[in-house]
Each structure stands twice: as C-alpha cells, then as structure tokens.
Structure 1
Amino acid sequence: MTEQFVCNPIGRVSSPYKEKGDAPAQGREKNLVSRIIIDPGFAGGLEGLTVGQQIFVLCWFDRSARDGIKVHPRGKMENPLTGVFNTRSPARPNPVSLTLVTIQEITDNILTVCGLDALDNTPVIDIKPYSGKIDEPMQA
C-alpha cells in the first residue's frame, strides 16, 4: 500500500554548495556558513532561537536519487553495499536530511548557520532545537 503525505517547505537554503559534488558527506567536515531563508509566514516560529544555539535542520534533498535500498557508504565503491537505513546517504526512499548546525546570526527571517551540508536552494521542511538531555545517547 502506498500512502502519500504533503510536506510544505518552511524555507530554502542559500548555500555555497551549488552542485552535488560540492557538498561534503557531512556538513561539519567543511563547517562552512549557509543561510536558511524562512518564508515570512513561518518567521514567527523562529522566536526563542538564539545565536550560538545548536539546531537540527531537516531538509528535503530534492536532487538525490530515490531508487535504491542499498548503497556504498559515503559513495565509495570499495565500501560494501549496506542497507540505506544504516547510512547517512542522501540517496534514500524519502530524501530527508537531518543536520546539526550552530546558529551564527539571526536577522528577521534569515538564520545564518555553520555546518549545513545542503545544496543551494534546497527546501527546508523543519527546524528543531538540539537538547543534550534528549538527544545524547542513553546510558546502557
């Protein structure tokens, strides 16, 4: 059974990464600055965010492949094929990315962040605060 959902972007990324090959496998590998331009209708949702705060940015990787269920981790053919759900590959059935970034500046409806790995003009679908109490691994 195929069920469909509607997911509307809350904004777009303005990024130094213009082409697929430009972006690092993980944003923190280059730690460059990007901007998230929030649509004015969602700008009120930024209230309470602060400079220096870490947030998760969820994007829709609209230029990623969606046809595979197994990938070579980090796109390296020498790595054995593994299930996509055991990787951070952008090639997945639903190309939702989750990236932890640090807010550098907030101006009106624009967040300047460090560590985002999204291509320029990538749709942003949500933002959530990082919380060490919740997001750090549970003790065994």
Structure 2
Amino acid sequence: MSDMEIRIRPVGVVRSPFKTRSDAPAQGRFSSEESEIHIFPEYLDAVDGLELFSHIFVLYWLHLAERNVLRVVPRGKRKKRGVFSTRAPARPNPVGLCLVELLECGEILRVRGLDALDGSPVIDIKPYYEDIDSLGF
C-alpha cells in the first residue's frame, strides 16, 4: 500500500501576512490577523452557499515544510514525539487544517485566524457545523 500515489489539485491559494514560519502564530486561533483565500476560477461554483456559515475549515498544503521528518520536539517540550501526535508542519504529508472565521465570501474569501503562510495552496474548504464539529466543552 505504501506505493499508492494520490493526486491533489489546489482549489485556491492563501494570501497572508505570514511570509515565513516564524511570522505565523503557533495556531490560527491565537491570531486576529486577516488573510485571503483566492479561489481559482474553475472552483468558484463550489463556493455557493458558503456564505451561510460563520466559520469554515481550511485544509491547505504546507508547501515549505519538510516531508522526511517522523519525530519532532513539540513547541515548549523537551522530548521527541512522532509527528502524528503533534501539530508540527514537518510531516510525511504536510496538510494543514485550520478553523477560521469567514468574514467575506466570493471569489476571494476573507478570513480571520488562518495560520497558513502566504502562497500556501488550499486543497479543500469545509463548513463548520457546531452540532457536528464541537465536542461541547
């Protein structure tokens, strides 16, 4: 199974004030910065209805991350752990996930709280449903 190849096409690109990893917050929810997601023209129909939501999940490709790292020292810790037990960007398949506030919807989505670096390819967007996605605490 390890020789299986998956092909993902970006649906848009992030325009963000964060140019380097050191510019970005540890997690998007710790930032009040606004970013834009520029949706590619062939995917604009997929945005229809997104304006009904106050928050969305953005899945993006951590395009500057290392892909050959399996163990890291998490921020603020001393001992190495497997990357699957961390939020580290370095990982075999560097997919970022961030819950953001949707401020404006159209060809360009204006969002608050996205931790993606400028130029990050967006691979999917999903609405946040409080009754499904919240653990209630």
State the TM-score, normalizing by the size of structure 2.
0.92
CA contact (8 A) 2:65 2:90 kept: yes
Residues 78-97 of structure 1: pairs in structure 2 closer than 5 A: 78-97=77-96
- Residue of structure 1 in register with 2:66 after alignment: 65
1:99 paired with 2:98, answer: yes
CA distance in 2, matches of 1:29, 1:23: 10
How many matched pairs? 136
1:134 paired with 2:132, answer: yes
Secondary structure at the aligned position of 1:126 is classed as strand
Deviation digits for residues 64-120 of structure 1 (CA, Å, limit 9, x no counterpart): 01111111112x5x43111111111111100001100011112x3100000000111
Q: Cα distance 1:129–1:52, how it changes in 2: closer, same or farther (>3 A)?
A: closer
Which runs of 5 or more residues in structure 2 are unaligned? none
Residues 1-140 of structure 1: pairs in structure 2 closer than 5 A: 1-50=2-51, 53-74=54-75, 76=76, 78-106=77-105, 108-137=106-135
CA RMSD, aligned part only?
Answer: 1.7
CA contact (8 A) 1:59 1:125 kept: yes
Query: % of aligned pairs identical?
Result: 46
Find runs of 4+ consecutive structure 1 residues off by over 3 angstroms: none
CA contact (8 A) 2:39 2:108 kept: yes
CA distance in 1, matches of 2:115, 2:136: 27
CA contact (8 A) 1:53 1:102 kept: yes
CA distance in 1, matches of 2:86, 2:64: 18
